Amino acid sequence: MLDGVGVEDTRVLVAGGAGFVGSNIANHLAADNEVLVVDDCYLGTPANLDDSVELYDRSVLAEDLPTDVDVVFHLAALSSYAMHEGEPQRGARVNVEGFVNVAEQARKDGCDTIVYASTSSIYGNRTEPTPEDAAVAVNTGYEASKVARERYAEYFSNHYGMSLAGLRLFSVYQGYGGTEAHKGEYANVIAQFADDIANGEAPVLYGDGTQTRDFTHVSDVVSAAVRAAEGGLTGVYNVGTGQSYSFNTVVELLNDELGTDVAPEYVENPIPESVYVHDTCADFSKLRAATGWEPEVLFEEGIKRVCSGY
């Protein structure tokens, strides 16, 4: 069963399931379902997974993937600007071809429900809650790969009648006390700043620290993904909180929670201003209308959870 609702003994595949978000989904579902994970462990680690999860050490580009399942959650991706600018061909292969490969094998094996990760970065700079029908643009290879993924999902839905729900995720975090630790420099800034401050080191902020993010706790992303699968949703849906906080505020709240007074270090932004997303904020009303989903972890509570391990 998916989270106690729906078909019993559901067989689930999580592509990229040893990574940060994927492992949270896999571990959450493993209590009541048969959960398989495909991951080549380039960005994931087996240590993230519960013992009951069956791990296949394979790339999403491989043939003969274990797609004879009821539901696929596709989280596999090269997930940063730097990774794509360094190796654009590899980024396209993993994020686009890998997605198509998994979806096509799932289709042939009779699975017609896929929930996959897209990104909020394609909205660009937005200080007000942004709905899914807002204009999107592609300024990086990472963003291009996620838009291509959405278009291929549309193809599989329109041509084959499959249910494919794309989740445009807004700044997902958990902290190094969860399964985010292995990401290191690619972890969410909340996790990085908390670890720096807890160890008496100055967190490094790009620019003046006024950039804002709609920070979304990973547990809320898990519940959104599960509800999207249970509802057999098709299309794209924002997963965020509708509230944004600046990096300066993050540092201030982390210091308050940790009982420290570590000042940040401000440096020149190494990412070109023309492609850097300065502000994000989600309008999640479409997902709420379709499933009843709402974020449950308020930002202050999320900060406490991140800091609890210290």
Question: Which pLDDT belongs to residue 17?
Answer: 98
User: Per-residue pLDDT averaged across 12-21, rounded?
Assistant: 98
For the segment 255-303, what is each residue's pLDDT rounded down to a tens digit? 999 999 999 999 999 999 989 999 999 999 999 999 999 999 999 999 9
Please say whether the beta carbons of 120 and 128 come within 8 A: no
Q: What was the pLDDT predicted at 81?
A: 87
Q: Which DSSP letter does residue 263 get? A: P
What is the set of active-site residues?
A: 142
Spatial distance between the Cα atoms of 283 and 281, rounded to a whole number of angstroms: 7
Other beta carbons within 10 Å of 159: 9
- Distance in angstroms (rounded) separating the CA atoms of residues 79 and 251: 24
pLDDT digits (tens, 9 = 90+) for 28-64: 999 999 999 999 999 999 999 999 999 999 999 999 9
What CATH code is assigned to 11-174+215-242? 3.40.50.720
**Which segments of the chain does DSSP mark as H helices, in order?**
20-30, 81-86, 88-92, 98-108, 141-160, 189-198, 218-230, 247-258, 285-291, 299-307
Cβ–Cβ contacts within 10 Å for residue 234, how many? 21
CA atoms within 13 A on the CB side of 160: 19
Predicted pLDDT of residue 5: 44
Mean pLDDT (whole number) for 57-72? 98
> In the beta sheet, which residues pair with residue 166?
116, 236
| Residue reference for tokens 């057999």 | 232
What does the alpha-carbon distance between residue 190 and residue 87 come to, in Å, rounded to a whole number?
26
pTM, 2 dp = 0.96
